[in-house]
Amino acid sequence: MDFSILSKMDANEMLAELFNTAVYKGFLQVMSRFSSYSWRNIFLIYKQLPHASKLVDFDTWKEQYGRTVIRGSTSIKIFSSSLKCVMLQEFPHQKRRNPAIYL
């Protein structure tokens, strides 16, 4: 699967493809296994490897599961979360309960 094509798909194209009953059924099956991921990442997993059961990095496969990755295997590409905490400067005259903004 060519990931560059998927990364250029916008949300409207992805949603339009989900109107196909067979695609939607497969998407829901993948969603049941990866419920903590965003719908966009679930769609990417579905398009690349619909029968995937776990999605972890190379080191986790080796250390936690004791498995090796076959040489030449390709990875499943998803978008990483970019939750970033920005601390705001506290000013004495401003009363803020939570001085952090999450982007």
Three-state DSSP at 14 gives helix
What does the pLDDT read at residue 103?
Answer: 45
Residue 76, beta-bridge partner list:
none
On whether the CB atoms of residues 9 and 3 are closer than 8 A, the answer is: no
pLDDT (tens digit per residue) in 55-88: 888 888 889 989 888 888 888 888 876 555 555 5
Residue 85, beta-bridge partner list:
102
Residue 12 belongs to domain spanning = 3-102
Q: For the residues 98-103, what does the mean pLDDT come to?
A: 48
If one compares 71 and 30, the residue with the highest pLDDT of the two is 30
Three-state DSSP at 75 gives coil
Total domains present in the chain = 1
Three-state DSSP at 59 gives helix
Residue carrying structure tokens 């339009």: 16
